[in-house]
Amino acid sequence: MNPEVAIIGVGLHPFGRFAGLSGIDMGAIAIRRALADAGVEWRDIQFAVGGSYEVDNPDAVVALMGLTGIQFTDVYNGCATAASALALAAQTIRLGDHDLGLAVGMDKHLPGAFSADPRNYACPSWYGEMGHFITTKFFGMKINKYMTDHGISHETLARVAAKNYRNGVINPNAFRRKALSEEEILNSAMLNYPLTQYMFCSPDEGAAAVVLCKAEKAHLYTDTPIYLRASTVRTRRLGAFEVHSPWLPIEETVGATVDASRAAYELAGIGPEDVDVIQLQDTDAGSEVIHMAENGFCPDGEQEKLIAEGTTEIGGRLPINTDGGLIANGEPIGASGLRQIHEIVHQLRGTAGERQVPGNPRVGYTQLYGAPGTAGVSILSL
Amino acid sequence: MNPEVAIIGVGLHPFGRFAGLSGIDMGAIAIRRALADAGVEWRDIQFAVGGSYEVDNPDAVVALMGLTGIQFTDVYNGCATAASALALAAQTIRLGDHDLGLAVGMDKHLPGAFSADPRNYACPSWYGEMGHFITTKFFGMKINKYMTDHGISHETLARVAAKNYRNGVINPNAFRRKALSEEEILNSAMLNYPLTQYMFCSPDEGAAAVVLCKAEKAHLYTDTPIYLRASTVRTRRLGAFEVHSPWLPIEETVGATVDASRAAYELAGIGPEDVDVIQLQDTDAGSEVIHMAENGFCPDGEQEKLIAEGTTEIGGRLPINTDGGLIANGEPIGASGLRQIHEIVHQLRGTAGERQVPGNPRVGYTQLYGAPGTAGVSILSL
Amino acid sequence: MAQVPLAAGLFSWPSDDPRLLGSECSACAMVTFPSQDSCPRCALTEMVSKPLARRGRLWAWTTQNFPPPSPPYAGASGKDFKPFAVGYVELSGEVKVEARLMETDPAKLQNGMEMELVIVPLGKNTDGDDIVTFAFTAC
Amino acid sequence: MAQVPLAAGLFSWPSDDPRLLGSECSACAMVTFPSQDSCPRCALTEMVSKPLARRGRLWAWTTQNFPPPSPPYAGASGKDFKPFAVGYVELSGEVKVEARLMETDPAKLQNGMEMELVIVPLGKNTDGDDIVTFAFTAC
Ligand SMILES: [Zn+2]
Ligand SMILES: [Zn+2]
């Protein structure tokens, strides 16, 4: 199928801690950079989609950009927010309603694990009183079971985190830019067995923006349009092992990530064997390991060998989280998935600098996963 | 243009105060009622869109409905949230991605005016410190100027509020179900001149849901499909007089409502003269007066006469807020606009009971407006 | 001081044979915990209450080594916080239930091990009563 | 006790001739208040600072009869709250500025009336200093 939607510009406000800047301010900076990258003006933008957790109305950014009266829809799907924003922007262009639009994500979180009222997630209050309403515990439990079932070692978790910190060192936009040894990672405080402190990402601040246009018009703006071949969002099915579940049924099925991934491959007419560069949701090192299999890049258990052999390094056959992923960048929820797109676009253009994957990568893949069991996948290509 | 999208079911959880029920609980109840109304099962639903202010993840309602793995996108655009949800649901059907979907809104607010951090609306902190970051003040200022410019009296404001309370009395789902005299309304506490306490709506709790399908398939489900002819969302243009503006330019232009309204009429191929029943955003009585003109139902200033003559009553030529509007129903932000759709659908089906507009209305109109200057309009027809 | 359950309807209490209280769908036999009004498999609202089996096998587990930030956590926090273990216990043919585990040493926890329901103290409520909750222990 | 402005860069202070400080777009001459980095009309980032005119005409107004709930309101709240009036004053050819008005009686406020900038006390900060802010008074 011919691609219908192209990405012609990306922009990022670095991720980290920025006193004195609001989430909206960072969003405006990311938008300006994406517009400059695309070579278009704000007044050319015909519609926009915004995503944020902390900012109720990302559309308020128009006060900083220019009051042009466009349709500006705010979306939110937890950690998968960017996938919803991209999917909606792409849909708007596919419908022919508009030719040129923008997706932007922004957030500014306080430090520490996220907290919320369990009842707003259809969980009873006692679930929070008992100390169960916490996402990191789910990630510990999921990888702990996975390690037992598929023979993954603690060292593999440390290798994943160490790789992402290393990639962060060569990413000027990253939050954590210091290499950590596998020993330091393994020996940091245990948070949720087997996950230690340095195996987790942390909430932070930042913004990212993407300019999209109708595929046929992309060459008016750029010599290297990046086509958005698929962007899918799926919620959990009954029997999937997902976050914030006081109980699970006896029957088991695959998680939302597998569903979103399969749907995206089918829409794109692209398979995992065609993918050259990958961004996965590494809320923690274990998530990256599991997501390798859930997104079709290897059979369950093969990660142990692949990671030991360096296959997921920038120079490997399956380069994963080349910009350091969530572990090095932290997670401003609304922006995180568009950071992934930013990295893939630069990789496919060949402009990723020190992080450039060799061999002219042509196909990129991104995946998001978060509460309450929602996943998003996008596939991009030259 | 042939209609592409039909509404085949609507469901409401009453608006008001409901101790012991969460926003998600009310959302699930509204969904079940909409499904029953449409005669479909939850497992038939192929995608959903949810809107809420207080509930981060309306998609968490799947835990109560059934974990079927559907795409479920959460949207938020302040008081215009329902318009974004409907527009996105309609767009998904128009694209042919899915045939049968659902839009749901739910909220559970604390009593009292909304508060938020001004910086998240691209307003400086001092704007809040000075006491300016408050929506009711904007509504007072806008109607006060409008009354001076176009000869609208205080009595007209009281008549609008009294009508909406009266309509609430005959709406079993309404929050305020007591008639108030024009004197009581005029003599209640002045909040923002010329608006008194009883001229304002208040935040409350509730949920509403709508089942949509591809227009050609509507007759599989119902004998009286209601077609969604247009659903538009617009943000403010430079020079519009809108909420949360520390300054305005010298140049003036029409508000976001006018832009969304004109776009909707054009898309629908329907004009204001064709509309038989109307729901307008009556955050306060003044808003209803202004929105009559902004949506093309009369020239500026003619409201004084029209309202005195009862034109906007259920039996009048321009029946407005037949279910009591926001003034009688309160405003659970995520649900409010879908309550409007619920009322219009019943009016066009002829099933609005005591509130039924006579003469077999064929065309309905809904409008939403809220911070930070975002408006939504939907046009429905038999 | 009285012992009060964490929530009403969660488990039978006081009781010599305490049971977790779930629900079962009359239409499709789906079992849930806690009880709920609608079936998450077939979405019908024909759930009947069902006391669950006391014993099961550990299906997945981890530890919680820092005080849960999510308000309100009813156990001891700050310096008094004691790390605990948590897991899903599969009650054969019924449902997997997420619960606190009495054993907190990772070396002694293993998927598949047999476990049994116990009712244990969690903390105190504002009246000074002991709040009790459900947990599983090896057996 | 010192008098401190509500925010830096909002108005010239202390000054015998206080002015609100806006910005003007070098490209399209758009004027904003307060100053901002980008132009809301042409979206370019070529704004230069501009002291605004002291006088203008009232364009729209209302009263604020209850304490603003939005935190943090720096004026007196609770029982000490005093209702105030607020409006947009059009500074001829420049911009309309939203400000507190010194006259609070609706009978004495009228669109088109001429008004002049004044600097007035708003409340106290945590150091006990008087916070001053901008307002307009009839002239
Ligand atoms: Zn069932
Ligand atoms: Zn300009």
* Phi, psi of D85, rounded to the nearest 5 degrees: -110, 155
Work out the widest C-alpha separation in chain C, in whole angstroms: 49
Whole-angstrom CA distances from D93 to A208, A303, B313, D19, D20 are 37, 68, 44, 16, 15
In-domain check, residue A92? yes
> Following DSSP, what letter does each residue of A229-240 receive, concatenated?
EEEEEEEPBTT-
Residue A103 CA to ligand 2 center (angstroms) comes to: 24
- Can the peptide bond before residue D14 be classed as cis, meaning omega within 30 degrees of 0? yes
Helices and strands in chain C, H and E counts: 0, 9
Q: Which one-letter amino acid corresponds to residue A133? A: F
A contact test, residue of C58, C62, C95 with most A CBs within 10 A: C62
Neighbours of chain D (3+ CB pairs under 8 A): A, B
Which residue has 């890049």 as its token pair?
A: A297
**Range name among A103-112, B37-46, D111-120 with the lowest pLDDT average:** A103-112
- Looking at the complex, report in whole angstroms how far the Cα of residue D105 sits from the nearest Cα belonging to chain A: 32
Which residues share a beta bridge with B51?
B75, B105
Residues of chain A with pLDDT under 50: none
Phi-psi category of D128—alpha, beta or left, where left has phi over 0 and alpha has psi -120 to 50? left
Which segments of chain D are extended strands (E)?
3-5, 21-25, 31-32, 47-51, 55-64, 84-91, 95-101, 114-124, 130-138
DSSP letter assigned to residue A79: B
Residues of D in contact with B134 (CB under 8 A): 64, 68-70
Rounded Cα distance between A208 and A213, Å, is: 17
pTM: 0.90
> Following DSSP, what letter does each residue of A14-66 receive, concatenated?
EEE--TT--HHHHHHHHHHHHHHHHT--GGG--EEEEE-SS-S-GGGGHHHH-
B contact test, residue of D62, D80, D91, D132 with most B CBs within 10 A: D62
What pLDDT, on a 0 to 100 scale, did the predictor assign at position D128?
85
Rounded Cα distance between B286 and B192, Å, is: 11
**Please, how many CA atoms are within 13 Å of residue B133, restricted to the half-sphere of its CB?**
23
What pLDDT, on a 0 to 100 scale, did the predictor assign at position C37?
86
Residue A108 CA to ligand 2 center (angstroms) comes to: 29
* Phi, psi of A308, rounded to the nearest 5 degrees: -60, -35
Residues of C in contact with B63 (CB under 8 A): 40
Residue B365 CA to ligand 2 center (angstroms) comes to: 37
Q: Which residues of B95-133 are buried (b: 16+ CB within 10 A; e: fewer)?
A: eebbbbbbbbbbbbbeeebbbbbbbbbbbbbbbbbbbbb
Among chain C residues, the shortest Cα distance to B36 is held by C44
Closest CA to A49 of A187, A209, A277: A209
Rounded to the nearest 10°, the torsion over CA D36, D38, D43, D47 is 100
Whole-angstrom CA distances from A282 to A105, A201, A371, B53 are 18, 7, 14, 28
- Mean pLDDT on B124-128: 91
DSSP letter assigned to residue B354: G
Least CB–CB distance from B235: residue in A72, A87, A122: A72
Rounded Cα distance between B184 and C101, Å, is: 62
> Following DSSP, what letter does each residue of B41-72 receive, concatenated?
-GGG--EEEEE-SS-S-GGGGHHHH--B--EE
For chain D, which residues lie within 8 Å of any Cβ of chain A, measuring from their own Cβ? 36-43, 45
CB pairs A-C closer than 8 Å? 124
Residue C71 pLDDT > 70: no
- Ligand located closest to B67 CA: 1
Contacting residues for C10 by C-beta, under 8 A, at least 6 apart: A126, C20, C21, C34, C133, C134
What pLDDT, on a 0 to 100 scale, did the predictor assign at position B371?
85
Inter-residue contact A314 to A322 (CB < 8 Å): yes
Q: What is the CATH number of the domain that holds A9?
A: 3.40.47.10
**Range name among B339-348, B371-380, C14-23, D1-10 with the lowest pLDDT average:** D1-10
Q: pLDDT of B246-281, one tens digit each?
A: 999 999 999 999 999 999 999 999 999 999 999 999
- 3-state secondary structure (DSSP) of residue C96: strand
Q: Using pLDDT thresholds of 50, 70 and 90, give the confidence band for residue B174.
A: very high
What pLDDT, on a 0 to 100 scale, did the predictor assign at position B359?
96
In-domain check, residue A163? no
Least CB–CB distance from B95: residue in A61, A72, A91: A91
- Mean pLDDT on C129-139: 95
Q: Burial, C69: exposed, middle or buried (Cβ in 10 Å; 0-12, 13-18, 19+)?
A: middle
Contacting residues for B119 by C-beta, under 8 A, at least 6 apart: A22, A23, A24, B125
Residue B179 CA to ligand 1 center (angstroms) comes to: 45
**Please, how many CA atoms are within 13 Å of residue A224, restricted to the half-sphere of its CB?**
17
ipTM at complex level: 0.86
Rg (CA), chain C: 16
Q: Burial, C127: exposed, middle or buried (Cβ in 10 Å; 0-12, 13-18, 19+)?
A: exposed
Contacting residues for D79 by C-beta, under 8 A, at least 6 apart: none
Task: Reduce the secondary structure of C25-90 to three states and give it as a string.
Answer: ECCCCCEECCCCCCCCCCCCCCEEEEECCCEEEEEEEEEECCCCCCCCCCCCCHHHCCCEEEEEEE
Residues of A in contact with C41 (CB under 8 A): 238, 249
In-domain check, residue B180? no
What pLDDT, on a 0 to 100 scale, did the predictor assign at position C1?
60
Rounded Cα distance between B368 and C4, Å, is: 48
Q: Using pLDDT thresholds of 50, 70 and 90, give the confidence band for residue B111.
A: confident
Locate B290 and state its tokens: 């202004």
Give the count of beta carbons closer than 10 Å to the beta carbon of residue B175: 23
Residue B1 pLDDT > 70: no
Q: Which residues of A307-339 are buried (b: 16+ CB within 10 A; e: fewer)?
A: beeebbbbeeebbbbbbbbbbbbbbbbbbbbbb
Q: Using pLDDT thresholds of 50, 70 and 90, give the confidence band for residue C6.
A: very high
In-domain check, residue B151? no
Rounded Cα distance between A49 and A74, Å, is: 6
Q: pLDDT of C12-54, one tens digit each?
A: 988 999 999 999 999 999 999 999 888 888 878 899 999 999 9
DSSP letter assigned to residue B12: E
In-domain check, residue B242? yes
In-domain check, residue A130? no
Q: Which residues of B145-166 are buried (b: 16+ CB within 10 A; e: fewer)?
A: bbbeebebebebbbbbbbbbbb
Inter-residue contact A236 to C55 (CB < 8 Å): no
What pLDDT, on a 0 to 100 scale, did the predictor assign at position D70?
60
Closest CA to A207 of A342, A114, A321, A361: A342
Residues of D in contact with A41 (CB under 8 A): 43
- Do B28 and C45 lie within an 8 Å CB cutoff? no
C-alpha A327: how far from chain center:
11
Rounded Cα distance between B271 and D77, Å, is: 48
Q: pLDDT of B59-101, one tens digit each?
A: 999 988 988 889 899 999 888 999 999 999 999 999 888 999 9
Rounded Cα distance between B91 and B105, Å, is: 18
Residues of C in contact with A200 (CB under 8 A): none
In-domain check, residue A129? no
Residue B372 pLDDT > 90: no
- 3-state secondary structure (DSSP) of residue B346: helix
Residues of A in contact with C90 (CB under 8 A): 250
- Do B190 and D7 lie within an 8 Å CB cutoff? no
What pLDDT, on a 0 to 100 scale, did the predictor assign at position B110?
83
Locate C104 and state its tokens: 């907190």
Domain hosting A23: range is 5-111+200-381
Contacting residues for D71 by C-beta, under 8 A, at least 6 apart: B115, B128
Strand C47-51 relative to strand A363-370: parallel, antiparallel, unpaired? unpaired
Least CB–CB distance from B67: residue in C37, C40, C45: C40
Neighbours of chain C (3+ CB pairs under 8 A): A, B
Q: Using pLDDT thresholds of 50, 70 and 90, give the confidence band for residue B115.
A: low
Neighbours of chain B (3+ CB pairs under 8 A): A, C, D
- Do A62 and B94 lie within an 8 Å CB cutoff? no
Locate D89 and state its tokens: 């004053």
What pLDDT, on a 0 to 100 scale, did the predictor assign at position A115?
67
Residues of C in contact with A129 (CB under 8 A): 6-7, 72-74, 122, 131
What pLDDT, on a 0 to 100 scale, did the predictor assign at position B21?
92
What pLDDT, on a 0 to 100 scale, did the predictor assign at position A122?
82
Rounded Cα distance between B73 and A83, Å, is: 10
Residues of C in contact with B65 (CB under 8 A): 38, 40, 43
Q: pLDDT of B301-348, one tens digit each?
A: 999 999 999 999 999 999 999 999 999 999 999 999 999 999 999 999
Rounded Cα distance between B256 and B373, Å, is: 7
Inter-residue contact B84 to B30 (CB < 8 Å): no
Q: pLDDT of B212-254, one tens digit each?
A: 999 999 999 999 999 999 999 998 899 999 999 999 999 999 9
Phi-psi category of B122—alpha, beta or left, where left has phi over 0 and alpha has psi -120 to 50? left
C contact test, residue of B64, B102, B211 with most C CBs within 10 A: B64
- Ligand located closest to D28 CA: 2
Rounded Cα distance between D35 and D98, Å, is: 14
Rounded Cα distance between B270 and C96, Å, is: 56
**Please, how many CA atoms are within 13 Å of residue D70, restricted to the half-sphere of its CB?**
25
Whole-angstrom CA distances from B108 to A74, A116, A161, B75, B334 are 20, 15, 41, 16, 9
